[in-house]
Amino acid sequence: MTPAFDDVHVGDELPVLRRVVTREDVRAYAEAGGDRNPLHLDDAFARTVGFPGIIAHGMFTMGHMAACVVAWAGDPAAVVRLSAGFRAPVFMGEELVAGGRVTAMDPDARTATLETWVAVERDGETLWPVKKGSATVLLG
């Protein structure tokens, strides 16, 4: 169920959503979306361009961010807008951690604007495959 407008406030945090990326996930995404770029399917090719192996599609990572927003919104139809910029590759076996927070409320439109993100931990450092993404959610 979509949160009630009066129950949401600027600064509210979305519960984080976690997912470990697997080869099966990436292969299924490539098949479903038709993006069969060898960077996502062929380890040898990915190594020729400097990666340790295949990487997840940027839109796969954004899809995880979208799943986090939808889980908070309670209804996919409540998500009015979603955007993201891709800033870092995601390798197999890494854990995507998506989250966000409410940055603005529009009482006339009954929407919340969210700043969203996806992080991974690599070599003791937090990297941001998506940083400063955004979403607009229609509230109940």
Q: Token digits for 37?
A: 């770029």
- Helices assigned H by DSSP within the chain: 23-33, 43-48, 58-73
- Write out the residue range of the structural domain in which residue 117 sits: 5-21+64-138
User: Using one digit for the tens of pLDDT, what is the confidence trace for 63-115?
Assistant: 999 999 999 999 999 999 999 999 999 999 999 999 999 999 999 999 999 99
Within-domain flag for 73: yes
Within-domain flag for 57: no
pTM, rounded to two decimals: 0.94
CATH of the domain at 103: 3.10.129.10
Burial 49-71 (b: 16+ CB within 10 A, else e): eeeeebbbbbebbbbbbbebbbe
Quote the number of domains for the chain.
1
Q: 113 near 106, Cβ under 8 Å? A: yes
Confidence of residue 117 (pLDDT cuts 50, 70, 90): very high
Q: Among residues 19, 35, 39, which one has the least CA distance to residue 95? A: 19
Within-domain flag for 37: no
User: Using one digit for the tens of pLDDT, what is the confidence trace for 24-41?
Assistant: 999 999 999 999 999 999
User: Using one digit for the tens of pLDDT, what is the confidence trace for 47-65?
Assistant: 999 999 999 999 999 999 9
Within-domain flag for 44: no
